[in-house]
Structures are given as C-alpha cells and as structure tokens.
Amino acid sequence: MISDYLSLAVKSIRNRRLRSWLTMVGIFIGVAAVVSLISLGQGLQAAINEEFTTFGIDKVLIQAKASGFGPPGTLSAGKVTEDDIELIKKVSGVERVAGRVIKPATIIFRDEQQARSIVSIPSKPDEAELILSSRTYEILQGRMLKPSDKDKVVVGYDYAYSKLFGKPVSVGSKLEINQKKFEVVGIMSRIGDPFSDKAVLMNQDVLKELFDADNDISVIVAQVKEGEDLTLVAEDIRRAMRKDRGQKEGREDFEIQTPQQYLESFTTIINVVQAVVIGIAAISILVGGIGIMNTMYTSVRERTKEIGIMKATGARNSQVLLLFLSESGLLGLAGGTIGVILGILIGKSVERIAMQALGSELLKAYFPWYLIVGALAFSFTLGAASGIFPALQASRLKPVDALRYE
C-alpha cells in the first residue's frame, strides 16, 4: 500500500519544512530552466518553420558570393547580371525567375540625412508578382507601386512608426534619394526583420537609372516547377552558371541558397543554444540531486531512533526502504512541480517581453504535454534515485542499535 508510505513521507517532509524547501531549490531552478528553454526553443523553431512556409519552400536564391558580412548586394566578390536570369530561365525545372537590385543610398527627409537600402521591385509584371509573393509584402497605408510609377516609392514600417527620422514619414511625404525627389505612396506592414522594415521599395528601372546600374543584379529568385526536386534543380542551375562562367567546381564566385539550408542553419543555432543551457541546467539538477541525497542522509541520521521504533513495531527492511524512497521521490517531485510552474511563468514572460520589444510573435512559448509530464517524471525519478543510498542505510540499521541511538 504505497499510498500509506507516501502519506507518511508527506508528514515527515512537512515536519522539516525549511530544510525541505531549501532542498528543493536546486531541483526547481534546473527544471525551470529546462522547461522555459525548451518551450521557447520549440516556439522559435515553429516560428522559423512558419516564416519559411510564407517565403515559400519552392524558391532558391542566387547571388554573388559574399566576401564579408552584410545585407545581400553589398560587399560581394563576383557579380550576377541580367544575363544570368536569362540563363537560369532555360534550366529545366525552373518555372519563373526574377532579379532584384539592392543599393545603399542616402535619403534626406526634412533636412535629415540617413544611409539606407533601396530595394527594387522588378519592372516586368510576372517577375514583380514572383517577388511580391515571396515575402509578406502587405501594404498598411496607401498602395503598392505600379509598374508605371516613376518618382514614387513605398517605405518600410519603421519609417512611419519607429522614428527612423525625427519626424514620422507618411503617405504623401517627399524623400530625396541620391539628389532626386520621390513621393511616398505606401507604407508596408511590419515584417519583423530589421532589414525589411527599414527598406525603401522602388521600381527596378527607376532604381537602375538612378544608380547607373545597367546590368547588375543583387539577388536572383528562381521558382521551381511544382513536383520538381528543389535541390536537384538548384544543382542544375549551379552547373549551368559554372559552365557559362568557365569556373571549376568549388571555386564559384556565386552562391545558391535553398530554404532547407536556412532552416538547417537556424535549427543548428537553436540546438547549440539549447544544448548549452540544458548543460547548465543539468549541472544545477545534479547539484539538486546531491542536495536531496545530503538531506536524506541527515534525515536518516536524525531519525535513527524513529527507524528503530518502526522496526520494533514490525517494519521490515523493505518497508523502511520504501518509506525513505517515497520521501526523497516526493521531495524531487515537489521541486519539479514548482520548477515546471516557474518554467511556464518564465517562458510566458519572455514571450511577452519579446512581443513588446520586437513587436513580432516570433518567440512564442510552447508547452507540449510531454515536456511537462517528462519534467515531473524526471524529477520524481531523480529524487528517488538520490535517496537510494540513504534509504538503504536506513533500512539496514540494526533495530537494537537504532533504538539506543540518542
């Protein structure tokens, strides 16, 4: 009748309230860390997966190989051009191709000057549609650019709402970009990544003229036909471009990115972070386990006489063992329960803070049932395991010696 032993254990734990609390601290800090981290990690993973689903898993990006860090289009070694677009269009399995130009520019608004990126919308309607469908380009105010717009731009969310300039930019505002005047016709909804929210959209031919960019392209987006293997098509594109440029394998001056690659590198980062924190949590839980063991040893020593009394009233060794194991198991479980509650609170708080700071719902805490049940089962097992040696010691005490103990 295990319940009898559990209720005896509860009484004994309550009787040593302060020490029981202190013992549980080690466990619940560790469990709280694990629960909050895993929940946030899972949330982040889900958010990233979702992000890529909206971008579309049927697209690959081709750009010049970066020679350093920075937004696409800056600091590159090689070049991609309009010719590459024509080349990629001919690769079998490719549905549509579009090029984008991204240029750094100085923007002046009401006598204030800033360096920002200008991003092009392709001039050909089908290319424009491909670009616009591959990002969550939603208009918050005003309208999107029309192919015929010459001196018009659409600006990112931050221009209007994040005080990028001293005064907010609104529909109808005039911006001076590279000494030319443009009118703002639309403001985009918040996208969530700092680059897109601070970008300015401009029609591609206008942008090329403004920068004398003739043939250069910053990024090529290629959409793969339905049912085609994205990786294989990406490989075909790579081979075609390599042949066209006369480059050897591994020495290309361009690179091709598939959504899987992004996904994998994000996942790797998340996993590394989780592994580090779980490592720290593991140490804290280990310390917690040792704490329980220590408390149980102390408890066995203090209650030597009680053990003698129990044996004198007919307790078998196995029953004494069970009693002490229930006690340490319960200490673990109680610590784990507090840890889970604390972990949920921490996860939710981080979610809320992230929401306010980033304004995006990127970081959502998920608490799947197996995380909670697993954490509780784990802490009970840990407690019981930490109690094994003290409990064995208690059960093996000789009744006469235990009774004589003062």
Partner 1 sequence: MKRSIIRLENVWKSYVMGKVRVDALRGINLDVSLGEFIAIRGPSGSGKSTAMNLIGCLDYPTSGTVLLDGNDISRLRESELAQVRGRKIGFVFQQFNLIPSLSAVENVELPMVFQNVPKKKRIKRAMDLLSSVGLGERLNHRPRELSGGQQQRVSIARALANDPEVILADEPTGNLDSATGKSIMEMLISLNKEGKTIILVTHDENLARMAGRVEYIMDGKNYRRLK
Ligand X SMILES: Nc1ncnc2c1ncn2[C@@H]1O[C@H](COP(=O)(O)OP(=O)(O)OP(=O)(O)O)[C@@H](O)[C@H]1O
Site string for partner 1, 280-319 (x = CB under 8 A): -------------------------xx-xxxxxxxxxxxx
Helix (H) or strand (E) holding 333: helix 317-358
Q: Which of 199, 198, 117 shows the shortest CA–CA distance to 164? A: 198
Site string for partner 1, 312-331 (x = CB under 8 A): xxxxxxxx------------
Q: Which of 171, 177, 146 shows the shortest CA–CA distance to 159? A: 171
**Pick from partner 1, ligand X, none: which does 93 bind, CB < 5 to 8 A by kind?**
none
Indicate the pairing of strand 216-217 with strand 139-142: unpaired
Q: Which of 40, 39, 25 shows the shortest CA–CA distance to 371? A: 39
Judged by CB under 8 A, the number of residues near partner 1 is 25
Tell the smallest beta-carbon distance from residue 405 to partner 1 (Å): 11
Tell the smallest beta-carbon distance from residue 288 to partner 1 (Å): 24
Indicate the pairing of strand 216-217 with strand 174-177: unpaired
Can you give 238-263 as a three-state secondary structure string?
HHHHHHHHCCCCCCCCEEEECHHHHH
Residue closer to ligand X (CB basis): 150 or 305: 305
Tell the smallest beta-carbon distance from residue 18 to partner 1 (Å): 14
Token duo for residue 174: 């005039």
Tell the smallest beta-carbon distance from residue 20 to partner 1 (Å): 12
Site string for ligand X, 365-404 (x = CB under 6 A): -----------------------------------x---x
Judged by CB under 6 A, the number of residues near ligand X is 2
Q: Residue 80 — φ and ψ, nearest 5°? A: -120, 145
Token duo for residue 35: 């629960």
Site string for partner 1, 198-237 (x = CB under 8 A): ----------------------------------------
Amino acid at 366: Y
Residues that bind partner 1 (CB under 8 A): 1, 4, 8, 11-12, 14-15, 305-306, 308-319, 398-400, 403
